[in-house]
Each structure stands twice: as C-alpha cells, then as structure tokens.
Structure 1
Amino acid sequence: MSHTQAGKKKLIARIRRIKGQAVAVESSLEAANDCMAVLQQVAALKGAVNGLMKEVLEDHLREHLGADDITQEQRQNEIEQVITILKSYMK
C-alpha cells in the first residue's frame, strides 16, 4: 500500500482545511477586508500547503528512497524525480 493511501484520512483532513482557508481568503477579498487580514490569511494558506508538501515528501523519501530493495539506478531515478518536483514547487 502506498504511503498516501496509508495516511489518506490525515491527508484528506489537511486538504479540507486548506480548502477552507482558500475560501476564507476569497471571502475576505470579496468583502474588501483590510489588506493585512488578507495577507495573514494568505500566509496561513501557504503554510498549510507547505506542511502538506513536507508530510507527503517526507513519507515518499522514507518509503521509496529509504527502501533497501531497490537498485542504485532506481534510487537515482527517484532522486531525479523528487528534484524535478521540488524545482517546480519552489518557483
């Protein structure tokens, strides 16, 4: 079973909180709230997404790159895939 399936409930709960935060930002913008309040909500949203990324990435590294039963070639391929994703994420 993949690590995202094993932790599915917890990850879904995180995503639902993130959706709620995104809706709060949208509502705040529609209500023309103070820009500091909007900035604070955006910062919280970014932090929540970063937390989700960290959790999924950490589990991926432990399960896939930390596995004893993969070849060096497979490990290198996994590393390249993770680097590509991180480069995209950090843009």
Structure 2
Amino acid sequence: MGHLNHADKSLKQRVARLKGQVLALERALDGGQADCLDVLTQAAAVRGAAQGLMVQLMAHHLRAHVAAPEDAGQRDSGAEEMTAVLARYLK
C-alpha cells in the first residue's frame, strides 16, 4: 500500500489515538487501583479506535486498488486482497 505513505494526517491521528488508548489501558492495569468497569470501558475504547483505523485503511485500499485502477487485473487482484483481509479481520 505505497499510497498510504502519502495518506492524509487522519491515519496518523488515528494511530496516535489508538496508542493513547492502549497506554491508558496499560496504566490502569499496572496501577492496580482501577475500577473493573473503568478497565472494561478503556478496553472497549481501544477496540473502537482499532476498528476505526481498520475501516479507514480498508477504504484507502478499496479506492486505490479496486475502484480506481483502469487495469481489470489490478482491480481483481485488489479485490482478492481485500477479501483475504476481511476474512482475517472478521474471524
């Protein structure tokens, strides 16, 4: 996905948000004082941040490798790649 090297800042912002959520979860677990519900809520926030990132990455892939290419072979290849990613993601 070479096109991601030039992607908008929102991808990096999503990664930074995810990193912050994971660090907050780690701090909650390390402290030993966190309420169980707070830890569960933080874990749900991590999952949401990861899912948001994944959706954005998949959208970039679909636009660049499935919708845009003039070459039908490249579109087919991009669609097959996306199918494989979805199969792993939805397990």
* TM-score (ref. length: structure 2): 0.84
How far apart, CA to CA, are the structure 1 residues paired with 2:69 and 2:57?
20
How far apart, CA to CA, are the structure 1 residues paired with 2:75 and 2:17?
33
After TM superposition, where is structure 1 displaced by more than 3 Å over at least 4 residues in a row?
A: none
How far apart, CA to CA, are the structure 2 residues paired with 1:7 and 1:75?
20
Q: Which residue of 1 aligns with 2:70?
A: 69
How far apart, CA to CA, are the structure 2 residues paired with 1:83 and 1:68?
17
How far apart, CA to CA, are the structure 1 residues paired with 2:15 and 2:48?
12
- 1:68/1:12 CA distance change after superposition, 3 Å: closer
Alignment of 1:22-33 (within 5 A): 22-32=22-32, 33=34
Gaps of 5+ in 1: none
Q: Which residue of 2 aligns with 1:48?
A: 49
Q: Which residue of 1 aligns with 2:13?
A: 13
- Per-residue deviation, 1:8: 4.4
Question: Which deviates further from its counterpart, 3-12 or 28-37?
Answer: 3-12
Q: CA RMSD in A?
A: 1.6
- Per-residue deviation, 1:10: 2.0
Sequence identity, in percent?
A: 38
* TM-score (ref. length: structure 1): 0.84
